[in-house]
Chains A and B, each alone.
Chain A
Amino acid sequence: MSETGRMAIELQVNGSRQPALAAPHETLLTVLRERLGLTGTKRGCNQGVCGACTVLIDGEPMRACLSLALACTGRAIETVEGLGDGLRLSPVQQALVDKGATQCGFCTPGMAIALTALLRRDPAPDAEDVREAISGHLCRCSGYVKIIEAGLAASRRNEAP
């Protein structure tokens, strides 16, 4: 343990091992943003309510602001930075762009993560499934309709037969 109370840990983020320092009370969100430079994951309420900090932990959407970094060792963490391959956006990200589903953009990374988790589990969801998946994600611009359209556009349901 260092003088600041931080401990050396290793996190598995977007498929690569990342050494980091984290104090016991520090959240995964803090470590992602302030130690690893992954600022795509947003800090909104820091209370688990707004959904902007949602990441995938072992494949399931969870709140990075409610996850202590020390309790995330040994788990696979995926952030919005890991969705595309560095050259191309993921189908969900592309659909969000194509549908104009980003207004201020603050909720977009969380929405992209939630929709990605949904489509991995259910490649052909209906609008109700998409609504359920993004419930708990607040869009302050209230642009939910286009986000739902993007979720449907990215689904297999929308592919040409």
Chain B
Amino acid sequence: MQFVEPETVEEVVAALAADPTSRCLAGGATLVAMMNADLVEPGGLVSLRRVPQLATLTVEVDGTAVIGAMARHAAVARFDGFRGAQRIVRAAAARIGHPAVRNMGTIGGSICHADPSADYPTAITAAAATIDIAGPSGSRQLAAADFFVDWFETALEPGELVTAVRLPADLPLAGVHYEKFTRADGDFATVSVAAVVSITDGLCEAVRVAVGGAAERPVRDPEAEAALVGAPLSPAGLAALGEALQGRCNPIDDVRASAAYRLALVPRLVARAVTAAARDAEQQEGQNS
């Protein structure tokens, strides 16, 4: 097995092209665990730790937050540059695993693994993130909604890597809440809900809600979200959104819960998450007025 440590994205792409059986090594929190369990045996490893471009965590002039693929969960969880809706990603980062795992794991590694019960895929979907991708045919961008394809499957082509996750600044005063249901602290979510809510003069201005752990990829329902816009949030409106999202879920039975239990959780957690996000939005407004 070859082990290389390139220093630029171009060199990473070249290394991946040189050996199609090789895999990127980010924080190792998942890949090394899978190697230890003999679930995967890469032909080679391309370590990303010496690529400075991938480790950045910055805010651009237009307010877009750019999280480098190698940003550790702990760094994202304490980054104070996020505004409004972007803070949903910080809230989710703080709930991933335990301290030692948050010191190792990276956002690029997490979203490329694409475990629908993981925290980041759900959160960046609610943040309406865009994924920066580099590969043999150049760079491209994909919306989070198009990036997650199926259970543990992304739209990445062979030889491509994620370089960054971009969070738009479109809802700078939005409230956020990440509602994660687990039986054991630090576990993957049984079901999780990431909610972003913008409220102006008591009326709902925008809502984005993503459900994780209940389908092959994060679930949103933009039509049901739009139905809440322009009116005050109401229990009936939240119930309708929860029911619509539940209808789009496709959960499995596993060690954490039965599919039926997961389905039952969805509307309850959606109502909780959106209500808490609305409360957070009021606090945001209070701080900015």
Contacts and interface: CB of A to CB of B under 8 A. Distances in A.
A66 B33 contact: yes
Given A27-B36, A66-B33, A61 B47 contact: no
A121 to B, nearest CB: 10
B100 A51 contact: yes
B264 interface: no
B21 to A, nearest CB: 13
Contact of A23 (B1, B5, B100, B185): B1
Interface in A1-23: 5, 7, 23
A158 interface: no
Contact of B32 (A60, A67, A133): A67
Interface string B13-56: 00000000000010111001101110001001101010000000
Q: SS class of chain B's interface: helix, strand, loop or mixed?
A: mixed
In which size bucket is the chain B interface? 20 to 34
Q: SS class of chain A's interface: helix, strand, loop or mixed?
A: mixed
B103 interface: yes
A70 B107 CA distance: 22
Interface string A20-31: 000111010000
B56 to A, nearest CB: 18
Interface in A33-71: 46-48, 51, 54, 57, 60-63, 65-68, 70-71
B33 A71 contact: no
Contact of B36 (A5, A46, A54, A135): A46
A133 B28 CA distance: 21
B99 interface: yes
B185 A135 contact: yes
A66 B186 CA distance: 17
B2 interface: yes
B45 to A, nearest CB: 6
A133 to B, nearest CB: 6
A82 B97 CA distance: 27
Nearest to B42: A25
A114 to B, nearest CB: 7
Residue with the highest number of chain A CB atoms closer than 10 Å, among B37, B47, B99, B100 = B100
Given A24-B1, A47-B33, A63 B99 contact: no
Given A24-B2, A136-B97, A136-B100, 8 more contacts: A7-B3, A24-B1, A25-B35, A54-B100, A68-B32, A71-B47, A71-B49, A132-B99
Sorted nearest first, the 6 A-B pairs with minimum C-beta distance are: A136-B98, A24-B3, A24-B1, A61-B100, A60-B103, A66-B32
